[in-house]
Amino acid sequence: MTTTPRQVVVTGLGATTPLGGDVASTWEGLLAGRSGARRLTEEWIEQLPVQIGAPLATELPLARVEARTLDRSQQMALVAAREAWADAGSPEVDQERLAACVASGIGGVITLLTQHDVLREKGARRVSPHVVPMLMPNGPASTVGLEFKAKAGVHAPVSACASGSEAIALGLDIIRAGRADVVIAGGTEAAIAALPIAGFAQMQALSRRNDSPESASRPFDKARDGFVLGEGAAILVLEAAEHAAARGARVYGALAGAGISSDAYHVAAPDPTGAGAARAVRAALRSASLEPTDIVHINAHATSTPAGDLAEAVALRTALGDHIDAVAVTSTKSMTGHLLGAAGALEAVVSILALRERIVPATRNLDALDDEIALDVVSIDNRKIGTGAALSNSFGFGGHDVCLAFTV
Amino acid sequence: MSQDVLAGLAVILEEVAGVDPADVTPEKTFIDDLDVDSLSMVEVVVAAEEKFSVKIPDDDVKSLKTVGDAVSYIQRAGVAA
């Protein structure tokens, strides 16, 4: 017996990113091809080999007292979630049928580091009693769950740079399984600090273009040399289609399916065959009841690392066959930098808007496509697309592969 | 009751928990009236120890239900010191 899974639609979007303090300004920045990367000016930056990043474009609109017991990652998640919830019409929902899935790749690392300094310099009595709820990786999920009184479960799947996408995939599963009707889902990351930058730099994962930050993130380009560390949050309101219809909600599109796999290859290096990533893409297609030929657009993970971008290109051809030549591929990270655990959530927002507006933002800094990358990467000018489905990929250290499928 | 201690506590409560200083009067309870949760109460105590140069052991914190309780405790502890 086969049953049609419950349809899940997207009814609200929120974000705070290196390009803007909300979804509208971020989308406008993407269409304009702006870069959110800049030279960092913190006092600790001089000691580091990498001195660029993509911090938030705007101050967070939170009261001082509200912000002081929340890690920056929680603050960003709260701001994005409030925007998404308002965008969904601030619905009156049954709290026992409302869940939150908000992920972070690293958790409250800025709190961890600053409070460790307090411990060493001033002693244990001066450590904040809020430090544990601020640094725990489920902190942002808890913050969002408390804000909207979500009582059907609060979740924080942790899978490095795939975390945001995995949170959305989990939200889909929860609604399909009937455990909730509405899920506030997404990701957040605030890791622009000396230790994470030093660590990523030691992995040779970051671009060293300190003198030209706006051209440092160059996915699929011949001269790419690593990613640019960004920060931000993005949140989607996911809703059972019948629930959205019953309240007359504005629907952006459907979260049609999701696929999750794991490489079992290496903790950090991508499998050069792209086998795991390809399995995630095919699983997403099956989950969405889509054929490869339904896909018109792919928002690639494409962080601008030499090995990662190449492996993804191989994976996409493996998964979609020759149809990949007819798919408009782009990399949001060319403009926003890499938001780690928020990346997949932001790119889900961007994928939905691209389908809805029928336009794919061009990949910035793609001056010369790598000869080994056999993809139709949109560059220079944004591209109009027809109707169809879109995929958004996210991969993470640990060998995590997640692919989301959207339709409008 | 020391107005200096009361005013000092009001400054701490505003800083830590966003409490309006006008609401900080002796009969108010920290948790129910001023909405200071147990974690923020720890911050209030540590800040008060520093501001008034007193020690407030964790076991004694439980007995400080109202602003007036805290003011009296700090005055006694200050005299003892």
What was the ipTM of the complex prediction? Answer: 0.89
Are the beta carbons of B42 and A129 separated by less than 8 Å? yes
**Per-residue confidence band for B50, with pLDDT thresholds at 50, 70 and 90:** very high
The answer on pLDDT for A46 being more than 80 is: yes
The answer on pLDDT for A175 being more than 80 is: yes
Cross-strand partners of A404: A258, A392
Are the beta carbons of A64 and B18 separated by less than 8 Å? yes
In angstroms, what separates the C-alpha of A146 from chain B's closest C-alpha? Answer: 15
Asked if A267 has any chain B CB less than 8 Å from its own CB, the reply is no
**Per-residue confidence band for A211, with pLDDT thresholds at 50, 70 and 90:** very high
Q: What is the residue whose two structure tokens read 């309870």?
A: B29
Q: What pTM value is reported for the model?
A: 0.96
CATH T-level assignment (fold) for domain B2-80: 1.10.1200
Cross-strand partners of A182: A98, A239
Q: Report the SS3 class of residue A39.
A: strand
Tens of pLDDT, residue by residue over A263-288, are 999 999 999 999 999 999 999 999 99
The ranges assigned to domains in chain B are 2-80
Asked if B17 has any chain A CB less than 8 Å from its own CB, the reply is yes
Q: Report the SS3 class of residue B64.
A: coil
Residue in A65, A126, A133 closest to B17 by CB? A65
Active centre residues of A (catalytic): 161, 301, 338
* B chain contacts of residue A125, beta-carbon cutoff 8 Å: 46, 49
Q: Please state, in angstroms and as integers, the Cα–Cα distance from residue B41 to each residue in A168, B30, B63, following that order.
A: 36, 8, 12
Asked if B54 has any chain A CB less than 8 Å from its own CB, the reply is no
Asked if B55 has any chain A CB less than 8 Å from its own CB, the reply is no
CB neighbour list of residue A354: distance below 8 Å, 6 or more residues apart:
A297, A299, A330, A360, A361, A385, A390
Asked if A124 has any chain B CB less than 8 Å from its own CB, the reply is no
Report the Cα A185 to chain-centroid distance in Å.
11
- Please give the pLDDT value at position A1: 52
Least Cα distance to A101 among A62, A162, A150 occurs for A150
What b/e readout covers A46-80, taking b as 16+ CB neighbours within 10 angstroms? eebebbbbbbbbeebebeeeebbbbbbbbbbbbbb
| Residue A133 structure tokens | 């709820």
Are the beta carbons of A126 and B46 separated by less than 8 Å? yes
